[in-house]
Chains A and B, each alone.
Chain A
Amino acid sequence: MTGRMMSAVSRQRAAAGLALVLLAVAVIVFPVVFSSPVITNYAIYALIFIAVVTAWNMFSGFSGYISLGQAVFFGSGAYAVGIAARAWHITGVGVFALLPLAAAVGAVIAVPFGLVALRVRRHTFIVITIAVFFIFQLMAYNFAFTGGSVGVAAPFLPWSPTTFNDRFYYLTLGCAVVAVLVRRARFGLRLRAIRDDEDRARGLGVRTMRVKLAAFVLSATITGLVGGVWFLYLTQVQPPSGFDPLFDLSLVLMAFLGGLGTISGPIIGALIIEPGQLYLTIKYTNGYLSEILLGALFLAIVIFVPRGIVPTTGEWLRRLRTRGRPAVPPASQRAPAATGLRSEEPATSDEGRSRLKRRPEASGKKGRAGGTI
């Protein structure tokens, strides 16, 4: 019995490993096969978002604290590279050496930001991230060293279009890979504990503040780095583009579409939405139809695929596999429907079950007795 199970498991592992290798090869060879700069352009933006959404998910997806302030790090990273290049008179390929600076800036900003913001509860957290976001955007407008409304321009790299795009493709691919690898680190369990029930987690000995802060800073570092890369690609940053309010909303949507809390989810979400948005605007270029369509698409996503593509497909696959066998549905799937006021149904996690014991949330007392926040 054990022997059979073992070989079944190792077969699965081998299959997964092979798929991963194939994927890696495909991704690396991509620009060679699809050499048109138009396609690599889409790929670059997709990769940028993959990296940033993965970074966002690193913190928000797991902890349940929705941050709408990632643009703070993104823009700061962009500006850091631009201002440094200008101040230290760096032109040409040397600008790429400034990228670690972008990452560092993201981290440095995240520490005080996190210390302030992570002390409050979830609703307030969201609004604090929005407030800090606007503070940064406005500072970018007001300070002289950020160039005010004019922003900062990147040194011109006189490469041919294909070369330019290809090089940025590999650069952003690297960022995305780094993001995914970091994401697989060990935070998952502790963060999920915090999401499920923060007070209890703290009672059980999880150092909530430290864990939250660490995840937050890490996510900020990666976002800052990608911001720097984006700046070099677009060759300019200005307050409304470096600190773009819709940027954060798009992140949430992508993570959502793919599946919060999963690793591949954000990747799929970003892959679908970013190129999709760019392409739709080109296709329906006249009138406002593209905007209406986009809105309708988002609505459809949230309503019909509420847990995200990855978990939902996982569900379907599992259901296919266990067809016919008497499966005991997990207790969490039997919760009653809610009205949209305060539903407490715990979502199933596709990445294995949380090992913390989950108390039934029947009485709905998840901190709402006070009413606000």
Chain B
Amino acid sequence: MIGASLSLTGDFSADGQAFDRGYKLWASDVNAAGGLLGRQVQLKILNDNSSPTQAQTNYQTLFAADKVDLAFGPFSSLLTTPSASVAARYGYALVEGAGGAPTVFESPANMSAHNVFDVSLPIEDELIPFVNWVASLPPNERPKTAAYPMADDPFADPPVQLAQQRLQALGVKTVYSKIFPAENASYKPAADQVAATGAQAVLLGSTDVPTVAAFMQAFEQQHYNPKMFICAAGPDQGASFTSAVGAGNATGMMVPNGWYPGYPNPESQKMVNEYVAKYGGSPSDVNADVAEAYSVGQVMAQAVNGTKGTDNAKIITYLHSGVTLTTVQGPVRFDNFGKNSSAAAFTFQWQQNGTEFKQVLPVSAAGSVTIINPKPNWTS
């Protein structure tokens, strides 16, 4: 039996529900193939309402009352830290896909028990492919100016700040770099300020679709169209994104990620098809969270098979042993902190009038298509 606490309601509910589907999809696939170590997998998912108190209570319930064998992580770095403490105390490994902020790995619990394993891309390096691409352009094609608006969130800021450092070193002038509060009313003023700078590139530290949608709308109202526009999160949410901003407007928007629906990996393709069959829509609609959740399951399965059992202490040792595992998001290999050091960062872009979500960077990576540059103007 595997237990997890997910944010099915509350602030993180959109992502939490996507994770829920991912975990369940994995479980049904595993069971269809004969289960784990011959036993059928039973998933027990509790709702934490996006609250750390509830998440902690949920894990205590799962460990002490339900006595689950294994644990999957919650959604978001905010909830992962207290959950990790609980897991550390009970001696469980916490395999998760959505707690990638540095604070998760540096938390006292993880430093002491080393029980957190994030299967997804560590966030700081997300925008490096984009930076490398800009560096690869001839100097007169690079953006002269760049704006770095960031939402106040440990997930959104580190990648943008790192990218800012690198781009500045390349000679791209910073015309705007501010952190704004992650609430609705703050988006428009910040966006208007960015529009007023006329920056040629915008690197938006966003965590969700509403932030991106607000910026895009404000830019459009101001008749401002940056040549390059990349966001930390939001455009990777599939249909959630395109329906909020309009498919036409989505074209040209870029976002980093470790996965996309068209990823030419057989397991990934199978997962995408199953998802579409079960929930409808098209492959591009599939939310990246689903792949993250699915990967969590896969990693756990490989650990269980590798240690031939569900002993958490052995699993922790096994996962830290430097073994490389495979998932729908690509290879996974954990470093000392539980970060996935094999994760490859890709950058994606919406193309074909907002119907295709394509991998565009790194340019040389298998599966990359031509990047659309500059970004087309807003359509409305």
The answer to whether the Cβ of B331 comes within 8 Å of any Cβ in the partner chain is no
User: Which of A45, A282, A291 lies in contact with B61, CB distance below 8 A?
Assistant: A282
User: Which of B49, B65, B89, B112 lies in contact with A164, CB distance below 8 A?
Assistant: B89
A38 and B60 in contact, given A153-B81, A155-B108, A281-B54 (Cβ under 8 angstroms): yes
Cα-based distance from A164 to B56 in the complex (angstroms):
13
A161: chain B residues at CB < 8 Å are: 60, 63-64, 86, 89-90
- Cβ of B65 and Cβ of A236 under 8 Å apart? no
The answer to whether the Cβ of A290 comes within 8 Å of any Cβ in the partner chain is yes
B182: chain A residues at CB < 8 Å are: 149
Q: Is the interface of A mostly helix, strand, loop or mixed?
A: helix
- Cβ of A278 and Cβ of B108 under 8 Å apart? no
User: Which of A36, A158, A285 lies in contact with B46, CB distance below 8 A?
Assistant: A285
- Cβ of B53 and Cβ of A241 under 8 Å apart? yes
Q: Is the interface of B mostly helix, strand, loop or mixed?
A: helix
Interface flags for B295-330 (1: CB within 8 Å of A; 0: not) read 000000000000000000000000000000000000
A150: chain B residues at CB < 8 Å are: 101, 103, 154
12 A-B pairs in the complex with CB atoms less than 8 angstroms apart:
A37-B63, A38-B61, A41-B60, A149-B153, A150-B103, A156-B85, A158-B113, A161-B63, A234-B53, A235-B81, A235-B107, A285-B47
User: Which of B53, B57, B81 lies in contact with A282, CB distance below 8 A?
Assistant: B57
* Count of inter-chain pairs, beta carbons less than 8 A: 109
B109: chain A residues at CB < 8 Å are: 153, 156, 235
The answer to whether the Cβ of A114 comes within 8 Å of any Cβ in the partner chain is no
The answer to whether the Cβ of B8 comes within 8 Å of any Cβ in the partner chain is yes
- Cβ of B58 and Cβ of A282 under 8 Å apart? yes
**Min distance, Cβ B201 to any Cβ of chain A, angstroms:** 25
Cα-based distance from A241 to B86 in the complex (angstroms):
17
- The 8 tightest CB contacts between A and B, nearest first, are A156-B108, A235-B85, A285-B47, A150-B154, A38-B65, A37-B64, A156-B112, A150-B103
The answer to whether the Cβ of A172 comes within 8 Å of any Cβ in the partner chain is no
Interface flags for A223-250 (1: CB within 8 Å of B; 0: not) read 0000000000011101011000000000
Interface size range of chain A in the complex: 35 or more
- Cβ of B63 and Cβ of A141 under 8 Å apart? no
- Cβ of B9 and Cβ of A291 under 8 Å apart? yes
Identity of the chain B residue whose Cβ is nearest the Cβ of A247 in the assembled complex: B53
Identity of the chain A residue whose Cβ is nearest the Cβ of B81 in the assembled complex: A236
- Cβ of B89 and Cβ of A160 under 8 Å apart? yes
- Cβ of B54 and Cβ of A285 under 8 Å apart? no
**Min distance, Cβ B375 to any Cβ of chain A, angstroms:** 29
User: Which of A37, A45, A153 lies in contact with B107, CB distance below 8 A?
Assistant: A153
**Min distance, Cβ B12 to any Cβ of chain A, angstroms:** 11
The answer to whether the Cβ of B52 comes within 8 Å of any Cβ in the partner chain is yes
User: Which of A236, A278, A291 lies in contact with B52, CB distance below 8 A?
Assistant: A236
The answer to whether the Cβ of B147 comes within 8 Å of any Cβ in the partner chain is no
User: Which of A45, A142, A156 lies in contact with B88, CB distance below 8 A?
Assistant: A156
